Amino acid sequence: MTPVVGIVEDNKKIRDLIQRYLDMQDGLSCPVAVDSVEDMLDYLEEHPLPDVILMDIQLPGMSGIKGISLIKEEYEDIDIIMLTVYHDSHKIFNALRAGASGYLLKHTSLPEIKESILKLLDGGAPMSPQIARKVINHFQENTPKKNADSDLTPREHDIVNGLVDGLSYKMIADRYDISIDTVRAHIRNIYKKLHVNSKAEVIAKSLKGEI
Amino acid sequence: MTPVVGIVEDNKKIRDLIQRYLDMQDGLSCPVAVDSVEDMLDYLEEHPLPDVILMDIQLPGMSGIKGISLIKEEYEDIDIIMLTVYHDSHKIFNALRAGASGYLLKHTSLPEIKESILKLLDGGAPMSPQIARKVINHFQENTPKKNADSDLTPREHDIVNGLVDGLSYKMIADRYDISIDTVRAHIRNIYKKLHVNSKAEVIAKSLKGEI
DNA sequence: ACTTCCGTCGCATGAATATGTGATTGAATG
DNA sequence: CATTCAATCACATATTCATGCGACGGAAGT
């Protein structure tokens, strides 16, 4: 029987393009391409199940990652391949943890997407090379090793910790008993060293273990 | 400069075959193919370093996995691809933990090996599909804990994601095509639900998986 | 002795955020 | 049909942030 593929992708152009391409391939059919997880869940209730779903992350309504959980919960036999522009570790790992069986970046060509689907059906786990690299790096990080610390000074690390704890400049100043202007100064230097320009990015980097 | 590849493989036929193939490729050279880690270590002391080493696991003397550790310890810039018949999880994970950047099964064709080397040099992590599948299965097993979801609405999740992506209110408004005042309203509600009162705290909670 | 770096502090300003107090629509629920 | 609630929008204001400039003392190295 020819494998059936579904698509969840909010960009209509991309969605239609992929659907048309896959559907015209020998040995594949792609009867459904919707723009939200909600629509896909509706579809699944009333139609024969697809074997594979290509899923974006950034979607109107429910995120693709949440969508994986729900779909795998109800229909554990459906394999899901993420197809997204996001390549930050948290999204990748959350998607994989949620049950994704593959993770492709959006620049992947149509023939490569087709290849990936076939690989998946053959028991493989298609991943863009960059993604694979992050995944295996994750393995290596979780093993005892001396990490190449960034070049933040001890005081700067204090400040970063304050930010991660969600403190304001003022609260950080109080915690370390220094002036708020000093906090500002440190933060300026931290931003320079990390090439960022907001608290948010510092927190993200820190929690991702990049500091 | 053309990348240089080294080979550690005890089967002389396979070793010579791969070396001859790679060395005749445009844009690759393969000046060294030995049958043990010990020989490779000797070679590395006295010659220009290769960029990539293809390594078997089952070898006379030291095992390939032990070899990875030693080589990465001395020459951290050399990337190592395992090329082996073993596909059991322990060998795979031990190899990756030891520092391997790729893992191919021996049935991989010569052109695929060449492709894999190029992918690796391009920042990827070449893996046979079956291997990739085992690696990501490992992720899913290690996450038996399902977090008690917070009671954020789908839209509120969108907003949180925007914050995590480092977007400003304005950018979030643009992304979802809503007013900045609506973004403000959602954020107010999110803060109430999560008992926080700054972007920083929301981002931290989200990245810590508490949302 | 001289330079370099860390940690400290100040002032100023435009941009972004946090928070209050509203209001309207529509879908869902009882 | 009444209620609830998600989602949308508006206006206002105090606070916080991001970032520019500049400064000083001390420790560590050349």
CB B204 within 8 A of CB A202: no
Chain A nearest-CA distance from B165, in A, is: 8
pLDDT at A32 over 90: yes
Distance CA B68, CA A148 (A): 19
- Residue B201: phi, psi to the nearest 5? -70, -35
Distance CA A19, CA A29 (A): 9
Mean pLDDT of chain A: 87
Beta pairing partners, A85: none
Quick check: B127 and A126 CB within 8 A? Answer: no
Distance CA A163, CA B198 (A): 11
Beta pairing partners, B32: B6
pLDDT band at B32 (very low <50, low <70, confident <90, very high): very high
* Long-range Cβ contacts of B184-190 (<8 Å, 24+ apart): B186/B155, B186/B156, B186/B159, B187/B159, B187/B163, B189/B156, B190/B152, B190/B156, B190/B159, B190/B160
Q: Higher-confidence residue: A1 or B27?
A: B27
- Residue A116: phi, psi to the nearest 5? -65, -40
CA-to-CA dists, residue B52 to B4, B13, B84, B88, angstroms: 7, 20, 16, 24
Q: What is the pLDDT of residue B93?
A: 84
Q: What is the pLDDT of residue A87?
A: 84
- What amino acid occupies position B40? M
- Residue B81: phi, psi to the nearest 5? -110, 125
pLDDT over 90, % of chain B: 48
Q: What is the pLDDT of residue B130?
A: 85
Chain A nearest-CA distance from B153, in A, is: 9
Residue closest to A163 by CA, chosen among B36, B83, B201? B201
Distance CA B164, CA B160 (A): 6
Residues B43-76: tens digit of each pLDDT: 998 899 999 999 998 887 778 888 888 898 889 8
In this prediction, residues B82-96 reach a mean pLDDT of: 84
For chain A, what is the largest distance between any 2 Cα atoms, rounded to a whole number of angstroms?
Answer: 71
Quick check: A163 and B200 CB within 8 A? Answer: yes
CB A34 within 8 A of CB A79: no
When mean pLDDT is compared across A1-10, A143-152, A159-168, B88-97, the lowest value belongs to: A143-152
pLDDT at A140 over 90: no
Angle at B31 between CA B26 and CA B37, to 5 degrees: 130
CB under 7 Å from strand D: A 168-170, 184-185, 187-188, 191, 197-200; B 153-156, 173, 176, 178-179, 181-182, 184-186, 189, 198, 200
pLDDT over 90, % of chain A: 43
pLDDT at A135 over 80: yes
Strand D nucleotides in reach of protein CB atoms, 7 A cut-off:
5-12, 16-23
Distance CA B43, CA A180 (A): 57
Radius of gyration of chain A (CA): 22
CB A54 within 8 A of CB A126: no
When mean pLDDT is compared across A18-32, B20-34, B141-155, B192-206, the lowest value belongs to: B141-155
HEC assignment per residue over A9-73: CCCHHHHHHHHHHHHHCCCCEEEEEECCHHHHHHHHHHCCCCCEEEECCCCCCCCHHHHHHHHHH
Quick check: B207 and A90 CB within 8 A? Answer: yes
> Residue B128: helix, strand or coil by DSSP?
coil
Distance CA B204, CA B49 (A): 43
CB B105 within 8 A of CB B130: yes
pLDDT at B177 over 70: yes
Q: What is the pLDDT of residue B179?
A: 92
Residues A86-103: tens digit of each pLDDT: 888 888 888 988 889 999
Quick check: A125 and B136 CB within 8 A? Answer: yes
pLDDT at A62 over 90: no
In this prediction, residues B197-201 reach a mean pLDDT of: 91
Quick check: A204 and B164 CB within 8 A? Answer: yes
Angle at A83 between CA A77 and CA A88, to 5 degrees: 110
Chain A from 146 to 205: CB within 8 A of any B CB: 163-168, 198-201, 203-204
Question: From the CB of residue B23, how many other CB atoms can be counted at a distance below 10 Å?
Answer: 13
Q: Which residue from B minimizes the CA distance to A131? A: B124
Length of chain B: 211
Q: Higher-confidence residue: B87 or B148?
A: B87
Q: Does B129 touch chain A (CB under 8 A)?
A: yes
| Its pTM surpasses 0.75 | no
- List helix spans (H) across B24-153: 37-46, 64-74, 89-98, 110-121, 129-141
Mutate to test the interface with B, among A119, A133, A142, A167 (most CBs of B within 10 A): A133
pLDDT at A54 over 80: yes
Question: From the CB of residue B45, how many other CB atoms can be counted at a distance below 10 Å?
Answer: 8
- Residue B162: phi, psi to the nearest 5? -60, -45
CB A200 within 8 A of CB B201: no
In this prediction, residues B108-124 reach a mean pLDDT of: 91
Question: From the CB of residue B169, how many other CB atoms can be counted at a distance below 10 Å?
Answer: 19
